[in-house]
Amino acid sequence: MLRTLMTVFHNPSSPQAPTAQYVPFHTRLSLSLLLVAIWSFLHLRLKNGRKLPPGPLALPVIGNLHMLGHLPHRSLQNVAKKYGPIMSMKLGSKPAIIVSSPEAAELFLKTHDILFASRPKIQASDIISYGSRGLVFSEYGPFWRNIRKLCTSELLSVAKIDSYVGMRKEEVEVLVGRLTAAREVVVDVTEVVERLIEDMTCRMMFGRGGDDRFDLTSVIHEGVALMGAFNVADFVPFLGPFDLQVGSLY
């Protein structure tokens, strides 16, 4: 077989060169199983070398995505019963540590919070926030700390919040007026409160209230939907150039 392969390599037109249509099915199946076995061996060796927490065996390309199902939180709960409150999985080609107990969560979110402060990079954030340069998805570091400092000093400080007392009072009075005018009809409280928050946020950030030309609520809802949507490229990056979902983000 080795001699045949060498002949084919040096002379592709050789009559001994097999074509794809003449390769027996059992040969292709054996090669596929061999590749899967090699990949599994290397994956386990790499996993043990990194001293990762225990977890289920991942499949090539998709990792453990097939185990999540339609209700990922319940699926992960069932897997945690076997592997414990701290387990490792692969979401596509991305390694992930799954934490499912209050004690373990405290280790990640409080004791060692700086080590896990960065958010995972997703394609939607790269497109929407100019290369993940926003406050939510920026990597933890000097840039993120400067953004947080800017937001705290310009929007969330006690002095800034107190300076908008008059504005908030005006918006609440407008809300009371709307409810009074609609006292004989059913009012959607959720919609009314969302509108109040939108108007106050717009006036704080942009100096003007929301209107039909500037609907902040719909923009926020669309952004949240895009950020939370399943995107193949987030889990299998090398498929990104072929991902048809990217077009929906522009």
Both 172 and 205 in one domain: the answer is yes
Residue 198: pLDDT over 90: no
pLDDT for 243 equals 62
Residue range 217-240, pLDDT digits in tens: 788 888 888 888 888 888 888 777
Both 199 and 231 in one domain: the answer is yes
pLDDT for 74 equals 93
3-state helix, strand and coil shares in percent for the chain, rounded to the nearest 5: 65, 5, 30
Q: Read off the pLDDT of each residue in 240-248 and give the average, rounded to a whole number.
A: 62
pLDDT for 127 equals 83
Total domains present in the chain = 2
Residues 6+ apart with CB under 8 A from 88: 47, 52, 53, 54, 55, 95, 96, 97, 98
**Nearest CA-CA partner of 155 in 147, 60, 236:** 147
In this prediction, residue 83 has a pLDDT band, given cuts at 50, 70 and 90, of very high
Greater model confidence, 241 or 247: 241
In this prediction, residue 185 has a pLDDT band, given cuts at 50, 70 and 90, of confident
Both 134 and 172 in one domain: the answer is no
In-domain check, residue 167: yes
SS3 211: strand
Both 103 and 128 in one domain: the answer is yes
Domain end (from 77, 110, 143) = 143
Residue range 25-82, pLDDT digits in tens: 767 777 777 776 676 666 665 655 567 899 998 888 889 999 998 899 999 999 999 9
pLDDT for 6 equals 43
In the numeric block, which tokens belong to residue 34?
Answer: 């061999």
Q: Read off the pLDDT of each residue in 10-21 and give the average, rounded to a whole number.
A: 48
Domain end (from 94, 121, 143) = 143
Both 137 and 162 in one domain: the answer is no
12-16, 155-159, 245-249 — which one is most confidently predicted on average?
Answer: 155-159
Residue 216: pLDDT over 80: no
pLDDT for 87 equals 94
Both 128 and 185 in one domain: the answer is no
Q: Read off the pLDDT of each residue in 193-214 and give the average, rounded to a whole number.
A: 78
In this prediction, residue 213 has a pLDDT band, given cuts at 50, 70 and 90, of low
Average pLDDT, the chain: 80
Domain residues for the domain of 70 are 24-143
Residues of the chain with pLDDT > 70: what percent? 79
Residue 90's H or E segment, with its range, is strand 86-91
**Nearest CA-CA partner of 63 in 239, 248, 236, 249:** 236
